[in-house]
Structures are given as structure tokens and as C-alpha cells.
Amino acid sequence: MARNPVQVLSQYTEDFGDTFRFYLGGLKEAIVTTNPAVIQHVLKTNAENYQKSEIQVKRMGHFLGKGLLTTHGEAWRTQRRLIQKGFDRKQLEALSAIMQDSLAESLRDFDKQIQGGPVDIYPHLMKMTFAMVARSLFGARLKDEDIDLVSHTISTVQEFIVKQTIQPYLNPWFEVSGELRRHEAMRARADSILMEYIKQRRGQEPGHDLLQTLMDARYADGEGMSDELVLSESMQLLVAGHETSSNSLSWILYLLSSRPDCLERVRQEFDSALGDAPLSHGALGRLEYTTQVIQEALRLYPPFWMIDRMAVADDRIGEIAIPRGSMVIVYVYGAHHAPRYWPDTESFDPERFTKTNAQQQAPFTYLPFGGGPRGCIGGNYAMLQILMILSDLLRKYDFQLVPGQTIEARPMVILRPKHGIRMTFTQTTARDHHAVMQQ
């Protein structure tokens, strides 16, 4: 189970049906479900009764303080309402320019790296997407070395939290050995760097970034957030947006590398929708097929392969009793691979997401961004980011999967490529080919 929970849970789903009880570590009762009615009940209809699990709130809260990811109830609702403004249509349009500039800079670096032969795309895409998220938050002037330090801190602390969670008996040792303190010190260093940007901004002209949204937000009584709260909310957004889009992008490139037919259609769509222009928020509606490709990749490889909650009070969903304190695991990967809802489930087929087909899909069978009030706040931002990076990479490069590698998904906090994905990139000839075809 610890080594490959996806394999085990998928087998159990096949053996015991779409909702079954399971004893985590032989002790704690968990209910695992891929049943859309149960999922809808837990994430939406009776969401008040299902809080984020203790692991998320306690362990993450220790390092991340209070914020969207680690609070619930009224405190969460108020913050969510304020922060949501940072991701509305107008704000995404404003962020596009910062995102494009950040991408152009990352691509200069990427261009150098690929000259040396095949690369593992995962760390490169992660660097690209994280720099974009970090600059969308703290503005274009955020320094490279600060981005690297914060990114490294987030990865290291996240790994430590996973260790604390799956080996809780080691926690006393982590304290004695100084490992806990070492991670706290790392976090404090990242905090102090970001706090410097917050303090500076208080005395500067307003920016067009998410930091400004957080600083301008006002509660009902007219008060704004303290610097400490702005910092912990920013850090939580950085954590939530750290590895998710890069992960999806890695799988998208992997899937496209074996489907020249889809790749050709995507390229044609970029050509006709954008020509040589950079992608802006306004062009999204013209990228229907590419959006379908992304949606299908998110179905096959949902970065959040499960969503966990804890029942606050006893509850019942039809025949299923849910005692107070039990965990409910919404098994997203299982729902996305259920043959009942997705015929020929393992095949990559973007046609599943044409407007007509998507309308026929039963609700709560497709949940890459979660569902209900606690669904992803950054979903539209992530789609913009993925499209932006894809549009540049595919117009610039041809790419091939290096043969002979084992590509496997590893379900840790998120579903990532276990051994990386190695690819060769060369300047594309596809566009010259289009030009000749069109003449």
C-alpha cells in the first residue's frame, strides 16, 4: 500500500465495488469511494461535515501557518472570498503579461539545456511553471535566486511532511536529531525573503500581481490582512501551485509524443488561433481541441490522485454509514479510470471532451480540480499556464521520447513520473512544413 496505493486501491475497487471500508494502518477507518453520488455528497452537498483531514491541517499547518489550505469554517470562507478575486477573468488577463515574460526567460535557459542532448522534462517544466507562479504572486522583479530558494524549501519541507505522515513513530527522533529544527529554519529563511518583498511593496506603487490583490483585500469592517497573513496565504498559493501544472505538462508531452495525429491538430490550432503572437487570455476560446487534450491528460494522470476528508459528525449516504472521525478518500484516479463512465478507459482520446460528449458525462466522475466549495482556486490560472507553455514549446520544438525507458506514475502527494521522462528537443520543422502545405 505504501509503495503503490493506486495499484492497491484500484484492485480493491474492482474486488469490493465503488465504495468500501478500509482500515488505514489496520487502525483508522477509511471509506474509499469512486461513486459519483457519494463524492458529490462529501465534496458538495454536505461539505460542511467533511473537513480537510488532520494530516493536511495539522502537519501542513505546522510549517505553513494559517491559510486557504489549512483552515476551515468561517475563517476559510472569508479568505476564500477575498483571494478568489485574484483569479477572476480580469486579473488573469492582467497576469498574462507577467507570465509571458517569465516564460520567455525560462525558455532562454531551457534552450541552452537541450543543446546538450536529451533532458528529463520534469524538473525543467517544474522550474518554468514555478517561476511563473512565483512572479504572478510577487511580481516580475522577484529574483531568480529567491525563486530557487523558495522552490527548494517547498520541495524539501513537503518531503519531510510526507515522511512525518507515513512514519509517525519517527517523530520523536526528528525532534531529537534536529531534523525538525533544520526544516523549520529553512522555512523561516524562505519566509524572511518573501516578507522583505511584502514590506517593500507597502511603500511602493501598486503592482498587477496577486500580492496586490491580497494587500488590497478588505474585510467587512474595512480592515486588510496583516503582513503575516499575506505571507502565509502567499506561501500556501506557492505550495498549491508548485508541482501541479508542471506535472500535467509532463504527461501531456509524453502522451503527445506517441500521437502524431493529435500533435498535428494541436499545432494547427495554435497556428490558426495565434499565428506568431504569444498566447493571451483572450485566445483561450479558440483553443478548443488543445483544451480537450489537456482535459484528457488530466483524466489519465490526475495530479491529485485522491482527495481526503474527515467526517466531523456521524452521517449516512444511502446505505453507507459514515461514523464521526472516519476518513473519506475520494479516489480521483479510480473515478477517472472507471470503465463504467469511461469506455476503453486506458486509451488517450481527447474526443471524450468535445462539448457534446462532455455534456453527457455524469457529474462528479471527472475531478482533476476537485469539486464543491473547496475545489481548486487556481484551475483557470493553471489552464492558462499550461496552454501558454505548450503553445511556445510546440511552436518552437520537435520532441521525441528517448526509447527504452520505463515511464511509470508514482503516487506520492501528487502523481508524478517515477523515473522522469527523458526527451530530445530540436528546433521544429513543423511550421515550415505547414507553410509549404498551405502554399
Can you give the binding site for ligand HEM, defined by CB under 6 A?
52, 68-69, 80, 133, 237, 240-241, 244-245, 248, 303-304, 307, 368-370, 374-378, 381-382
Closest distance of CB 211 from ligand HEM, Å: 12
Closest distance of CB 65 from ligand HEM, Å: 14
Rounded distance between C-alpha atoms, residue 4 and residue 280, angstroms: 40
Residue nearest to ligand HEM (CB): 378
The answer to whether 160 and 257 are in contact (CB under 8 A) is no
Closest distance of CB 282 from ligand HEM, Å: 20
Across 54-84, b (16+ Cβ under 10 Å) vs e yields ebbbebbbbbbbbbbbbbeeeebeebeebbe
Closest distance of CB 307 from ligand HEM, Å: 4
Rounded distance between C-alpha atoms, residue 327 and residue 319, angstroms: 17
In the complex with ligand HEM, the residue whose CB is nearer, 42 or 322, is 42
Q: Which helix (H) or strand (E) holds 153?
A: helix 144-166
In the complex with ligand HEM, the residue whose CB is nearer, 186 or 386, is 386
In the complex with ligand HEM, the residue whose CB is nearer, 52 or 187, is 52
Rounded distance between C-alpha atoms, residue 288 and residue 273, angstroms: 10
In the complex with ligand HEM, the residue whose CB is nearer, 114 or 317, is 317
Closest distance of CB 237 from ligand HEM, Å: 5
Sign of torsion over alpha carbons 157, 163, 166, 172:
negative
Rounded distance between C-alpha atoms, residue 122 and residue 417, angstroms: 8
Rounded distance between C-alpha atoms, residue 169 and residue 6, angstroms: 24
The answer to whether 174 and 164 are in contact (CB under 8 A) is yes
Q: Is residue 135 exposed (0-12), middle (13-18) or buried (19+ Cβ within 10 Å)?
A: buried
Closest distance of CB 246 from ligand HEM, Å: 9
Sign of torsion over alpha carbons 261, 263, 265, 271:
negative
Closest distance of CB 368 from ligand HEM, Å: 5
172, three cell numbers: 520523536
Closest distance of CB 86 from ligand HEM, Å: 9
Rounded distance between C-alpha atoms, residue 312 and residue 2, angstroms: 26
Radius of gyration of the chain (CA): 22
The answer to whether 92 and 380 are in contact (CB under 8 A) is yes
In the complex with ligand HEM, the residue whose CB is nearer, 382 or 393, is 382
Rounded distance between C-alpha atoms, residue 229 and residue 262, angstroms: 45
In the complex with ligand HEM, the residue whose CB is nearer, 114 or 382, is 382
Closest distance of CB 233 from ligand HEM, Å: 9
The answer to whether 242 and 190 are in contact (CB under 8 A) is no
In the complex with ligand HEM, the residue whose CB is nearer, 114 or 210, is 210
